[in-house]
């Protein structure tokens, strides 16, 4: 097997959930191609992601997407320096498709293969293009994960707190489903909340005691369900729906902002980075901007296209590991419950 050439482009595959994504990147920040085949419309019929359906669609999409990425980038397969694939956490049937394809491709070309943690891709995405990752606090908020992590550099992570049940994005989607809103519900709640009164209704915030950086949003989901059962009339008017969406958003975002602020104060850090799909939430972005401005902290946000699942973030995180001489055996298995910072 060839050694990784840092001047050669890297091809990365992301298939941890319902997006088939392929990216080709040269160095730590030159994106030659970044493509995504979304399955959102397919899964909207079920009100959530069905693993078997996701896997089938990954199988159909991945080979044409790789060929399109190579054509768009102008890179020939024999010019690639490494193949990378998300190997966890995520849905096992979905992860298998991307990882198996990348392994086969790397064997055919005789170049390194790297199994990468999906969460690490998110964590580093606000710094895409940087050769060094600064010491900072990272708030990762997505559909399946919510956690606060001390990041001292690429591969150097200490998790301060994580969700004990529903993640923030999951809470948005599940409450939206209770309200009968279209999937993906988090985006719809954010849109409707812009027109609503966030102080109209009060919903619970869990685990808010000092020093606790874990998250729990299942109680909020249950509270919304009981609220809807007792107040069905709220859903009868656009104003009622918008006020409810704004109140739900305020409760979820309020927890994220308060815990991030406390963790920053405790750690004495001066930089905070936010990533994951919920990083696109308007109230969260605005609230973090005000929080950092008032405390003199530096805020790092990913560009909107890098907030949700994509392969460019996987390629960027992988580049740092490949540059350090790391690679994976093609016999390494996927790890659907792989926690960031845990070395396999």
Same domain, 287 and 180: yes
In angstroms, the CA 73 to CA 206 distance is: 47
The answer on pLDDT for 189 being more than 70 is yes
Same domain, 115 and 241: no
The string of DSSP letters for 156-209 reads EEEEEEEBSSS-HHHHHHHHHHHTTPPSSHHHHHHHHHTTS-TTSS-----S-S
Angle at 265 between CA 215 and CA 342, to 5 degrees: 50
Compute the average pLDDT of residues 25-37: 95
In angstroms, the CA 277 to CA 242 distance is: 21
Residue 234 counted as domain residue = yes
Give backbone dihedrals phi and psi of 200, rounded to 5 degrees, phi first.
-70, -40
> In the chain, pLDDT over 70 holds for what percent of residues?
97
Q: Tokens for 294?
A: 């008032």
Same domain, 159 and 122: no
Region of poorest pLDDT, from 18-27, 33-42, 81-90, 249-258: 33-42
Q: What is the pLDDT of residues 41-54, one digit of tens each?
A: 676 676 777 778 88
Q: What is the pLDDT of residues 128-163, one digit of tens each?
A: 999 999 999 999 998 889 999 999 999 999 999 999
Q: Tokens for 297?
A: 């902290």
The answer on pLDDT for 343 being more than 80 is no
Residue 178 counted as domain residue = yes
Residue with tokens 């190997």: 87
Output the pTM of the full model: 0.93
Same domain, 155 and 122: no
Q: Tokens for 320?
A: 């740092």
More confident residue, 340 or 341: 340
Same domain, 120 and 105: yes
Compute the average pLDDT of residues 175-184: 92
Same domain, 173 and 110: no
Q: What pLDDT was estimated at residue 80?
A: 98
Same domain, 293 and 319: no
Residue 80 counted as domain residue = yes
Whether 193 and 245 have beta carbons less than 8 Å apart is answered as yes
Same domain, 147 and 76: no
Cβ within 8 Å of residue 68, ≥6 positions away: 22, 33, 35
Domain extent at residue 93 = 10-127+306-323
Residue 175 counted as domain residue = yes
Q: What is the pLDDT of residues 196-222, one digit of tens each?
A: 999 999 999 999 998 899 999 999 999
Q: What pLDDT was estimated at residue 324?
A: 92
CATH number, position 116: 3.30.420.40
Is 241 strand, coil or helix? helix
């Amino acid at each position: 097997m060839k050694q990784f050439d840092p001047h050669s482009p890297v091809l990365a595959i992301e298939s941890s959930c319902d997006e088939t994504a392929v990216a080709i990147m040269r160095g730590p920040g030159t994106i030659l191609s970044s493509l995504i085949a979304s399955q959102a419309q397919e899964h909207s019929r079920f009100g959530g992601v069905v693993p078997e359906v996701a896997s089938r669609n990954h199988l159909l999409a991945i080979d044409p997407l790789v060929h399109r990425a190579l054509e768009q980038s102008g890179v020939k397969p024999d010019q690639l320096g490494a193949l990378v694939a998300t190997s966890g956490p995520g849905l096992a049937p979905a992860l298998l498709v991307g990882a198996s394809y990348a392994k086969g491709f790397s064997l055919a070309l005789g170049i390194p293969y790297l199994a990468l943690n999906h969460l690490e891709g998110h964590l580093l995405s606000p710094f895409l293009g940087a050769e060094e990752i600064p010491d900072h606090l990272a708030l990762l908020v997505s559909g399946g994960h919510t956690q606060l992590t001390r990041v001292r550099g690429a591969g150097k992570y200490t998790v301060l707190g994580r969700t004990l049940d529903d993640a923030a994005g999951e809470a948005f989607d599940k409450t939206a489903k209770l309200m009968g809103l279209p999937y993906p519900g988090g985006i719809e709640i954010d849109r409707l909340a812009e027109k609503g009164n966030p102080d109209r209704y009060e919903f619970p915030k869990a685990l808010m005691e000092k020093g606790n950086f874990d998250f729990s949003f299942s109680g909020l989901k249950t509270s919304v369900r009981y609220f809807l059962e007792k107040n069905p009339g709220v859903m009868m008017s656009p104003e009622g729906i918008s006020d409810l969406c704004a109140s739900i958003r305020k409760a979820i975002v309020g927890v994220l902002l308060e815990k991030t602020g406390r963790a920053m104060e405790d750690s004495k850090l001066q930089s905070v980075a936010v990533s994951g799909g919920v990083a696109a939430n308007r109230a969260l972005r605005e609230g973090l901007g005000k929080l950092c401005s008032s405390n003199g902290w530096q805020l790092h946000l990913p560009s909107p296209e890098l907030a949700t699942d994509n392969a460019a973030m996987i390629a960027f995180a992988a580049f740092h590991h490949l540059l350090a001489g790391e690679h994976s055996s093609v016999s390494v298995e996927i790890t659907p419950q792989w926690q960031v910072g845990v070395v396999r």
